[in-house]
Every structure is written in structure tokens, then in C-alpha cells.
Amino acid sequence: MGENTNIIEMHNVGIRYDQGPEILSDIKLGLKKGSFHFLTGKSGAGKTSLLSMMYLAQKPSRGSMSVFGKNINFANRDNLAALRRRIGVVFQDFRLLAHLNAFDNVALPLRVCGMDEREVRKRVTELLNWVELDAHMQDTPDTLSGGEKQRIAIARAVINRPELLLADEPTGNVDNFIAAKLMKLFVELNKLGTTVVIATHSDKLINDFAYPRLHLQNRHLHIIQPAHYSMLREKADA
Amino acid sequence: MPKSLYISRKQELPLKGDSTSLFLQVIISIAVFIFAITLSGVLSVNTMLYNWNRSILGSLTVQIMPVNDTNKEKAAAQTLAHQEKAVEFLQNVDGIIKVTPLTDEQLKQLIQPWLGDGVNLDSLPIPRIIDVKLAPDAEINFVDLAQKLAQTSSQASVDNHKLWLSKLIRFADGLKLIASTVLFLVTIITSGAIFYTTRMSLGLHRNIIEILHIMGAKDTYVAQQYGKRMAFLGFCGGCLGLFFAVPVIFFISSLAVQIEGGIISEASLSFGDWITIFSLPLFSMFIAMLTAYYTVKRTLQKML
């Protein structure tokens, strides 16, 4: 896949649940390889729905969508599984497996791929050290704080060195120091070629990092470049 | 040594904690218990049929009933004519190697213990007897033979213990059919129980399965975890069922042996039969594993 190829492409994508109204309509998006975007919008704007389509938890109700060049409308279950292995996801509510300890939770994507257990142990230990949770390896999520769970969730998302990282409010439950450290991790991953999309409400985050925004408003997606965003902010401040 | 080396791997799906595990194990135990006893019955009947067939000698007897006529000479001549027709017919049947009509002298010897010496056969309505020898590998349908013989000679009838035995064999075959139906039903009911408990468990662990899918797990990854768990439950349940079934089989066998010289005492289990019975836990293990595996694969396609 070349530098200018789109990791995700959406053409007139719409999504609805059952017979309800469309949550998102006519979404057109080309997410370039190696890009970094914030996903913004009010609560209920459809950020989680858009992300869930991106991590292939659900298919669009209409329109066509390609992920890593594969049209998912025609992908079978095994194809989808193979594509999902290239995507890391951080959920807003962490979605850690309560009966597994921190180590096993982080190891999950590697074991699902059938990686050798020695390599799994090496990689997981390294990453848990990096997120400063090596002392909590054998602790289950219910004994960890919100911030610690968040870090476990992020470690699980990046352990497999994904080509696409999708994060839903990844810094929502951590202090500023940890938030900065996690953002540094995302930026480093992005520099190494990982495409990153972070859903956030944090103005600070958006201001601190000059990345374009995918903004959801009235069921539609608008792409706002950082310069344009700054201009809007200045106008609003004035 | 790094701390992580002490960490033991846990299954992603906490199936051990499922409340349905105990229920399934009990169901499988009962199923294997019934299966083992029924199977031992089928195998015993098979042995019995084999012994019966082996005990049948390679011969049969044909009787020519005397013709009823006031003219005794004419009646005797007609009876002999019927005998000749029967002999001619029997000589042309495949699998019959020798046809010997008994002489008057031989007939007298046969009835001598009951009627004494000096009996005049012509004055008595004594049936003529034909001794028939069969080839060792003869495959003769005796019911069919009796019908054809009766068409050739209305006075002829086949007196063959196989005819009597064939009724018993038919009865035994009926028993086998019933037993096979029971075995089939037990397998279906057990598979059904596994099917529904697996589906219930899939619903229970839906959130975990969703996470596994998002991480890139294929359906087979989830199905394998269910397959392994059900294989374990199937094997344990099978062993438990067999543990209770074996004493019962021995008890029933001892009752059969007590009927000395009877037909049922022929029903015994061979070494091979016992191996078959003792392999039932493996059978229940495979049934449980395959049912769970394919249930998961099929259900996930509809569920997610």
C-alpha cells in the first residue's frame, strides 16, 4: 500500500439501526495512510457509530466502504477478521475482559493471531513496563483505577503494531501527565506509519496538536483543517 | 526470572464458570449410561444371533403328509408321487447337496420307539420323510423354499429348526431396531442439549466474543474454545455414565447366565464388545466437541 493510498474510503455511506432514522448520512471520506485525525462532534453526533464502522464492527446500511483497499460490502467473515487484525481500537468504556488480568488483556490481540507465547510474553512485558503498569500485570481490571484501565486498553490496542489506530476518548480518564505521555505514544506510532483517528471532546488536545478534524454535525461529516479551525476559534474568541 | 513468566494463561472465554456446565455433564452422564446399557443389549443380541446361526446344522427335513383317500393303495401311490416331485424339486435347489428320501425300513425304525415292532406302514397315515443336506456356505431363504416346495407338492412341508429360529431372529432383529432407535434418540437428545446450552452460553458471553472479533479473532477461534470445553465435559460425563452403567451390565449378564441352557444365556459380550462399550466416553467427547464447534460457527454467523 503506497503513501497516498487511502486506508479507509467511504462513498455516500449511511448508517441506521433497525428501522430507525439514519444516524449518519452521505459520509464521504478518504483516510490517507499515515494521517492523524481528531474525530469531533457533540454527544450523540455519531462518533462511536462512525468508529465502529471503521473497526468493522458493523457494516454501513448503504453506500460503499473500503478498508485497506478491500470493499467490505463483499468481504466474508474471515476477510473481515484479517482486516481487523490490522486495526487497534481503544474504547471509551475500555471493554477489558473482567476475568483476565492486565497481562492477558494486553496479550489478547497477539494470541488471537496465534503468536508464539514466548514472543507474546516479551512484547506484553515490554509494553506494560512502558505504560508503567508492570507492577499490575496480574491484577484484574476491577482492582485497577480508571486511568490504569485506560492504559491497559491503549496497550491492548497498540500491542499488535496496528496500521490503523482508532481511539474513543483515550485521554478522558487520565491525568495531564499520563494524557501527554499517551498522546506522545500515538504521535510516535503515527510517525512510524500508523494512521490514527482519535475521537475526543477535549479542546486542549485539539489545540495542542495541530491535526485535521473529522467533525460530525447534523449527520454529516466535515473535514476541518487545523488552520481553518484556529481561524474559527479566533473569530469565536473575538 | 521475569515476573511475567509466572503468569499462567487463562481462556478468554470463562466457560468453566458457566452454570450450564454441571447440567450438561449430568445430561451426558445419563445419556452415556442409557447408551452403554442399550449398546450392550444390541451387542449381546448380535452375539446371540451369531451363536444361533452357527448352531443350525447344515440340514433340513421335508415331510410329505399322507394323501387322504379311502383307497389305501391309491393314497400310498399318490403320497409317493408327491415325494418324488419334492425330491426332484429339492435336487434342483442351489445350496442343496444331497436329497435322501427315507425308506420304509428307516421310517419304521423312527416310529418303532413309540409304536413298537411289526408296524405295517401302509395301514397307518405316516408321513414320508426326506433328509436334505445343505452345502456349508449355502445361503438359502427357508421361508421362500417352503413356499416353493408347497407349490410343487401340496403335501410337502419343510421341517426346519431354522424356520422356528427365523421367527426368533426376526424378533431379535426387532429388538435391535428398537435399541438402535434408542441409541439414535439418545445421541440426538444429547446433541440437542449441547446445541441449546452452547447457544445460551454464546448469548451470555456475547460481549467477550464481540471483543475477540474486534481483535481479529475468527469464528474458529471461538468455536475451538467451546469445542475444547465441551470435549472435556463430554469425556467426564461419559466416564461418569460408564462408571454407573458397567455394574448394571454385569448384573444383567449374570441374570442371563443363570438361565441355563436357555436362549438368553447365549447373549454374552465379547472382548471387542467391551472395548466398544469402554470407548463410549471418547464417543461422547467427540459428539460434544463437534456439536459445540459447529453450533458456535453457525450461531456466530447469525449473531454478529
Confidence of residue B268 (pLDDT cuts 50, 70, 90): confident
Residues A114-133, mean pLDDT to the nearest whole number:
90
CA B293 – CA B244 distance, rounded (Å): 28
Place of cell 415325494: B83
Q: Is residue A146 a part of any domain in this protein? A: yes
DSSP letters of B182-226? Answer: HHHHHHHHHHHHHHHHHHHHHHHTHHHHHHHHHTT--HHHHHHHH
Q: Is residue A69 a part of any domain in this protein? A: no
pLDDT value at B222 more than 60? yes
Model confidence over B167-191: pLDDT tens digits?
777 888 888 899 899 999 999 999 9
Confidence of residue B304 (pLDDT cuts 50, 70, 90): low
Contacts of B208 in chain A (CB under 8 A): 97
Judge whether B7 is closer than 8 Å to chain A, CB to CB.
Answer: yes
Mutation for B interface: A108, A115, A142, A168, most B CBs within 10 A: A108
pLDDT value at B114 more than 90? no
pLDDT for B121 equals: 65
Find the closest chain A residue to B221 by CA distance: A112
Q: Is the pTM of this model over 0.80?
A: no
Place of cell 466502504: A65
Alpha helices in B3-152 (DSSP H): 20-55, 72-91, 104-115, 142-152
pLDDT value at B275 more than 70? yes
Confidence of residue A133 (pLDDT cuts 50, 70, 90): confident
CATH number at residue A107: 3.40.50.300
Confidence of residue B44 (pLDDT cuts 50, 70, 90): confident
Q: Is residue A207 a part of any domain in this protein? A: yes
- Residue B71, number of CB atoms within 10 A of its CB: 10
Q: Is residue A222 a part of any domain in this protein? A: yes
Q: Is residue A20 a part of any domain in this protein? A: no
Model confidence over A4-53: pLDDT tens digits?
688 999 999 999 888 888 889 999 999 999 999 999 998 888 898 999 99
Place of cell 490514527: A196
Are residues B218 and A85, on separate chains, in Cβ contact within 8 Å?
Answer: no
Place of cell 491503549: A154
* Amino acid type, B59: S
Task: Say how many domains are in chain A.
Answer: 1
Residues spanned by the domain of A150 = 35-59+76-237
pLDDT for B240 equals: 96
Q: Which among A34, A39, A43, A42 is positioned nearest to A53, based on CA atoms?
A: A39
pLDDT value at B151 more than 80? yes
Q: Is residue A223 a part of any domain in this protein? A: yes
pLDDT for B5 equals: 46
CA A87 – CA A105 distance, rounded (Å): 16
Find the closest chain B residue to A137 by CA distance: B4
Q: How far is A167 from chain B (nearest CA, A)?
A: 13
Are residues B218 and A84, on separate chains, in Cβ contact within 8 Å?
Answer: no
Q: Is the ipTM of this complex over 0.90?
A: no
Find the closest chain A residue to B5 by CA distance: A121
For chain B, the structural domain boundaries read 13-54+166-303, 59-137
Judge whether A101 is closer than 8 Å to chain B, CB to CB.
Answer: yes
Place of cell 481528531: A38
pLDDT value at A3 more than 60? no
Q: Sheet containing B59-64: give its strands across.
A: B96-101, B128-134, B59-64, B156-159
pLDDT for B230 equals: 94
Query: Of B7, B208, B214, which has the smallest distance from its Cβ to A138's Cβ?
Result: B7
User: Which A residues 27-66 touch B at CB under 8 Å?
Assistant: 55-57
Confidence of residue A140 (pLDDT cuts 50, 70, 90): very high
Q: Is residue A26 a part of any domain in this protein? A: no
Mean pLDDT taken over chain B: 84
pLDDT for B101 equals: 92
CA A112 – CA A98 distance, rounded (Å): 18
